[in-house]
């Protein structure tokens, strides 16, 4: 069997959830959209169902997968619904839609529901993707109330730049939001992971941590507040071939690396078809047999190559960690010019193994 796999540490997931919850001092909704950022939504939901009151996913089909697996917690649909006909299942399965557009309010007006809905009303405070502008929120809210089909409304917004600590865009978004929230006297739901970790002055009745549950930092550079996060995913494989090359030999597609001295090269059974980023450059850290070494040469579809010259104890069959508790996914992401969110979401083809 090919040795590549992703190990998911469900205990670390629970500890990260508890950290988010304690930082927030309020109700933390566990965001498990996109198959729990590549970690396995059903398994993560089972691990967290006693910890959290509510889960969040992006859309209806993601929520139905959890219902089919027997998850009973309310589920927030972050993108709301796309078609009127989804309201029947939202009603039936106790899903909480985000309402971000006028047509959705009209759809609720027309719908025949078994029971009143719990909704999250979305304000556009500066992200400028979806949601009602601050000045349009009161009218939208009163229209919703007038349908008599709403049990509970929470006012929400989403930050565009909370991972950027040196600018005040987040504070501006928050004060625009808070002004309306105070007027309407509604419960609020604001904080994502970077807001929870880096903006203690920004809090809300509900929070929506995502990436921090998986133990990765949302910030480009290390922050004190992320020290307590525990990486959940370990992407690992083994050395399947070793060769010694003289100086001046190039390795792999495009000859991206040329040996500058006699070198020992290890081949690892994992590649970009598994989700390891093809754009990871020479010198990206890789852990082999418990020691840090480096990627050399271009990442291929099913394999990549590492430098074993200074690791005489490493050889055929040695364990390799691409990211996990020793090599942080955010470190690899930065070098590959992406973010840990994308690295995790891209994981495919490798079997997942769960530990608790
Ligand atoms: C994905 C998402 C989150 C979680 O964001 P993180 O940065 O992963 O914590 C929160 N709110 C909304 C609306 C989202 O789409």
pLDDT tens digits, residue range 247-286? 999 999 999 999 999 999 999 999 999 999 999 999 999 9
Could you list the active site residues?
33, 253
- Is the CB of residue 38 below 6 angstroms from any atom belonging to ligand 1? no
Q: The tokens 């840990």 sit on which residue?
A: 340
**Beta carbons within 8 Å of 281's beta carbon, 6+ residues apart:** 295, 335, 336
From the CA of 312, how far away is ligand 1's center (Å)?
44
Give the 3-state DSSP-derived string for 160-218, with helices as H, strands as E and coil as C. CCCCCCCCCHHHHHHHHHHHHHHHHCCEEECCCHHHHHHCCCCCCCEECCCHHHHCCCC
- The band of 25, judged by pLDDT with boundaries at 50, 70 and 90, is confident
Q: What's the CA gap between 31 and 13, in Å, rounded? A: 12
CB distance 158 to ligand 1 below 6 Å? yes
| Residue 157 in contact with ligand 1 by CB distance below 6 A | no
What is the model's pTM? 0.97
Please give the distance, rounded to the nearest whole angstrom, from the Cα atom of residue 136 to the centre of ligand 1.
23
Ligand 1 neighbourhood includes 238 CB (under 6 angstroms)? no
74 CA distance to ligand 1 middle (Å): 17
Q: What percent of the chain has pLDDT over 70?
A: 100
222 pLDDT above the threshold of 90: no
Task: Determine the pLDDT at residue 286.
Answer: 98
Query: In a mutational test of the pocket of ligand 1, which residue from 32, 37, 78 has the highest number of ligand atoms less than 8 Å from its CB?
Result: 78
């Amino acid at each position: 069997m090919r040795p590549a796999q992703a190990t998911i540490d469900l205990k670390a997931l629970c500890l990260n959830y508890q950290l988010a919850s304690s930082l927030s001092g309020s109700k933390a909704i566990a965001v498990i959209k996109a198959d729990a950022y590549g970690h396995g939504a059903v398994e993560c939901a089972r691990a967290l169902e006693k910890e959290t009151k509510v889960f969040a996913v992006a859309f209806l089909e993601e929520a139905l997968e959890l219902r089919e697996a027997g998850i009973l917690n309310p589920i927030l649909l972050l993108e709301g619904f796309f078609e009127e006909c989804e309201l029947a299942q939202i009603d039936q399965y106790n899903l909480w839609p985000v309402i971000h557009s006028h047509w959705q309010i009209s759809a609720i007006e027309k719908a025949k529901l078994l029971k009143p809905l719990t909704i999250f009303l979305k304000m556009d405070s500066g992200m400028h993707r979806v949601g009602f502008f601050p000045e349009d929120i009161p009218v939208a809210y009163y229209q919703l109330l007038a349908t008599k089909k709403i049990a509970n409304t929470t006012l929400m917004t989403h930050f565009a730049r909370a991972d950027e600590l040196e600018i005040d865009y987040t504070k501006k978004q928050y004060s625009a939001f808070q002004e309306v929230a105070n007027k309407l006297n509604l419960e609020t739901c604001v904080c994502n992971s970077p807001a929870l970790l880096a903006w203690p002055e920004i809090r809300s009745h509900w929070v929506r941590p995502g990436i921090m549950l998986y133990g990765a930092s949302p910030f480009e550079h290390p922050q004190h507040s992320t020290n307590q996060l525990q990486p959940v995913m370990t992407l690992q494989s083994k050395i399947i071939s070793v060769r010694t090359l003289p100086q001046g030999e190039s390795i792999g597609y495009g000859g991206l690396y040329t040996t500058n001295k006699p070198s020992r090269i290890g081949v690892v059974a994992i590649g970009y078809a598994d989700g390891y980023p093809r754009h990871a450059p020479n010198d990206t850290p890789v852990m082999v047999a418990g020691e840090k070494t480096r990627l050399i040469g271009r990442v291929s579809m099913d394999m990549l190559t590492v430098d074993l010259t200074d690791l005489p104890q490493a050889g055929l069959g040695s364990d390799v960690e691409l990211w996990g508790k020793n090599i942080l996914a955010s470190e690899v992401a930065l070098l590959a010019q992406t973010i840990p969110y994308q690295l995790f979401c891209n994981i495919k083809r490798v079997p997942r193994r769960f530990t608790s």
